[in-house]
Amino acid sequence: MTPSSEAKKSCENPAVQPSVVEGAFADLLAGPFDKVSITIPTGLRARVAERASQSNFSSYVTDILAQEEKRIALIEFLDQLDEEFGPPSAEQLATADLRWEEMWQRYESSTALS
């Protein structure tokens, strides 16, 4: 993205209503807001417009960007724990998979009964 395409101007009322209103990202989501011009494929824009019709494009994109930033932050946090504790053993990974599988099996058997 070129500097000119990143040209921004202050936006007083963007009607952005992020789904997350508490936590470490609260300050980032509270504003002030910038208006940013981006270039995306027409087909993708049309598809997103359908999905975001009940809110608006800005809040949809803000939510996606915030969630992606959190996802990256979570992976970085887990990387730091791995550095601190060392890489997981095969037994630890197997236990994690087993617990996950047990959760799904419990859920699937209960929903099959209901």
The stretch near another protein (CB under 8 A) out of 4-12, 33-41, 54-62, 73-81 is 73-81
Q: Is 103 in the site for another protein (CB under 8 A)?
A: yes
Q: Which is nearer to another protein, 30 or 81 (CB)?
A: 81
Tokens, residue 40 = 């995306």
Q: How many residues does the chain have?
A: 114
Q: Which string of DSSP letters, residue by residue, matches 43-93?
A: HHHHHHHHHTTTS-HHHHHHHHHHHHHHHHHHHHHHHHHHHHH-SPPHHHH
Cα dihedral 10, 64, 73, 1 in deg (nearest 10): -60
Q: Is 65 in the site for another protein (CB under 8 A)?
A: no
Query: Interface with another protein includes 95 (CB under 8 A)?
Result: yes
Using CB under 8 A as the binding rule, whether residue 37 contacts another protein is answered as no
30 binds another protein (CB under 8 A): no
Under the binding rule (CB under 8 A), the answer on residue 57 touching another protein is no
Please report whether residue 34 would count as binding another protein according to CB under 8 A.
no
Say which residue the tokens 């939510």 belong to. 63
Tokens in use for 85?
């504790």
* Contacts to another protein by CB under 8 A: 19-25, 67, 70-71, 73-78, 80-81, 85, 88, 92-93, 95-96, 99-100, 102-104, 106-107, 110-111, 114
